[in-house]
Amino acid sequence: MSHKKFATLAVAALLIVVVAWFGHVTNQEVGEIVQRQFTEQQLLLTRQAAVGIEGFLEERTVLIEVLAEEIADESPENMTSHFMPVYCRSRGISSIGFVNSEGVIVTGYPVEDVAIGLDLYATNKNASFDRARDTGETYTTNPLLLVQGGIGSHIGVPIYSDGEFKGVVFATIDISTLSERYLADVIPEGRGHVYMITRIGRSLYDGAHKEMIGKKYIGSFCTNDSSYAEILSEQMQEKEGTGYYFDESSGEWRIVAYTPVVWRDHVWSVATSVPASDVDALVHSVYRKQILFIAIVIAIILAGSGSIVHIFSRWNRELENEVERTTEDLKRSNTELESANTRLKELDRLKSEFVSMVSHELKTPLTSIKLSMDILRSLSGSEKDIRTKDELFGIVDRNIERQSRLVNDLLDISRIETGNLKFNLEPVDLYDIIRESVRSMRDVAEEKGISIHTDLEGESLEITGDRDRLVQVFVNLIGNALKFTEKGEIRIQVRMVAGHPEIRISDTGIGIPPDELGRIFGKFHQVDSGLTREVGGTGLGLAICRGIIKGHGGSIRAESEVGRGSTFVIVL
Ligand code: ADP
């Protein structure tokens, strides 16, 4: 694996760990927040319930106080007609009655629920009555079990008429019935229940355990040292708060929120109890959503890092290819530079050779001409001098010719190189050209004692070409053959090969080494041999020949064996 890939995967793994850790921490925090909010919400509900029941109790109390004022001047016999509508309109009031100033219940409604004729003093139930009479204030009694079932409290309101104590109007408030009405719906069905206890821990209402009314929880539901007992004792101390406890009967943890209910002299405590699994379910649903979110984030990271790795490797590959290409290009241009350098060096060498050769070739004839002229000037008109003069003029002629040949060669090669060598193309007889060339070289050949044989197929061979230029080629090749042949013969053979005339000019001279065969057609190139130096020359002849043959759309090559002779082959 490449470093880049490894680094990307490491970063991805690190990101995943960070995201997972962050998710875990957030989960915990969110769990705590959800739990807190849940219990706070429960406490709010409990307060609402408490306010509701307080309002109800206060309302009933005020109703009885208003009733007492209403009937202050009524005779006891007429009171029932006032009690009846109040009783009927107000739920939770289970009876209304009147105790006269002697402490005897004289009237009430409904008649069957009021102990008419009961003497409070005789039954020792006169404490609240006495207090009301003495203070002139309304009293409420501690909740007590009612004869007709349930639990209730009495409200007693003293009546004074013109400053004279007339008695006490009392009503029985059925707390359990009212609580059932006001507290039962605080918590939705099946999600928990509400209960209310007195300051000494007796149940006034219990939505889930009706049978508990009037009984104490501690001892029935839990032991003194249980966590529930702690909550209950907080409730009995009129505190507000929330708590957890393990419910033995249902085998589950429950959350309780409790708050005090104040009714005149009494302070009770209302509480809501819900299973802790509710909050757990809520937390778990939040967890599930968070885990899903984290999983999506991780998937995105993985997919993202996968694509990054992919993109990186592609870039890498592209970069490597690019580097490879550039290296190749560099190598190529390096090689090109090297060969250009070699060519330049070769050109430089050629230039030097050219300069030395040209200066030598130009100077030699000039020196001969100068010398001849000097001698000519000193010669008299004697017969001997006249002969010498003829010879000297001959030398001057040959040297002028030699120089003009050199200049012509230079002009030709320059035209060939610049593409300015013009050909006068016309139908010509190749054999004629060859015969003319041989003729012009015959003297030289005879002088050297070398014979020139021509081997031509048929009488004539018509081709299209520049007669003078072709003669120039053959004269040059025959001249070379003569120059580099000491003895033997020169043979010129023409054959049609694959529809093209092939001319072979062979000699029996010194030959050309194999490594020189390709180079002799280069300008100014001469094979470095004693004979070459002896016979002189410019090294331009073969270059011009090749230029002319190429100009005719043909080719020229050399075949040779050192010491046995050379053959120049032209295909037109
Ligand atoms: P030049 O003859 O003026 O030196 P050329 O271009 O005609 O220039 O020939 C180049 C060289 O090729 C000669 O110097 C010689 O070394 C070699 N050469 C040409 N023709 C022959 C031949 N027939 N036999 C041997 N060497 C030859």
- pLDDT of 533 over the 70 cut: no
- How many Å apart are CA 168 and CA 135, to the nearest integer? 12
- Per-residue pLDDT band for 381 (boundaries 50, 70, 90) equals confident
Q: Which residues pair with 165 in a beta bridge?
A: 160
Whose CA is closest to atom 25 on ligand 1?
Answer: 511
Of 354, 520, 562, 569, the residue with max ligand 1 atoms within 8 A of its CB, to mutate for a pocket test, comes to 520
Q: Say what the alpha-carbon torsion angle 434, 435, 436, 439 is, to the nearest 10 degrees.
A: 120
DSSP secondary structure, 410-461, as one string: HHHHHHHHHT------EEEEHHHHHHHHHHHHHHHHHHHT-EEEEEESSS--
Q: What values do phi and psi take at 148, rounded to 5?
A: -85, 10
Query: pLDDT value at position 190?
Result: 78
Q: Which atom of ligand 1 is nearest to the CA of 476?
A: 7
Question: Domains of the chain, with CATH numbers?
Answer: 422-571 (3.30.565.10)
* The residue to which tokens 């999506």 are assigned: 296
Residue 392 CA: distances (Å) to CA of 362, 378, 384, 540: 19, 12, 12, 28
C-alpha of residue 527 to centroid of ligand 1, in Å:
7
Alpha-carbon Rg of the chain, whole angstroms?
70
Residue where the block lists tokens 């996968």: 306
Q: Which tokens in the block code for residue 521?
A: 């057609």
Span 9-47, pLDDT tens digits: 788 788 888 888 887 888 788 888 888 898 999 999 999
Closest CA to 173 of 53, 91, 81: 91
Q: Ligand 1 in contact with 501 (CB < 6 A)?
A: no
Q: Which residues contact 439 (CB under 8 A, 6 or more apart)?
A: none
Residue nearest to atom 14 of ligand 1 (CA): 526
Rounded to two decimals, what is the model's pTM?
0.50
* Closest atom of ligand 1 relative to the 527 alpha carbon: 16
pLDDT digits (tens, 9 = 90+) for 385-395: 888 888 899 99
Q: What is the pLDDT of residue 530?
A: 63
pLDDT tens track for 270-317: 999 999 888 778 778 877 887 888 889 888 888 887 888 888 889 989
For the Cβ of 547 lying below 6 angstroms from any atom of ligand 1, the answer is: no
The answer to whether residue 2 scores a pLDDT higher than 70 is: no
Give me the helix-helix angle, 276-378 and 383-418, nearest 10°. 160
In angstroms, what is the span from residue 525 Cα to ligand 1's centroid? 8
Q: Does 368 contact ligand 1 (Cβ within 6 A)?
A: no
336 C-beta neighbours (distance < 10 Å), count: 10
Q: Are 53 and 179 in contact (CB under 8 A)?
A: yes
pLDDT tens for each residue of 436-474? 999 999 999 999 999 999 999 888 999 999 999 999 999
Residue with the smallest CA separation from ligand 1 atom 16 is 527
Over residues 218-227, mean pLDDT = 84
Of the listed ranges 182-191, 309-318, 404-413, the least confidently predicted one is 182-191
Q: For residue 304, what pLDDT is reported?
A: 85
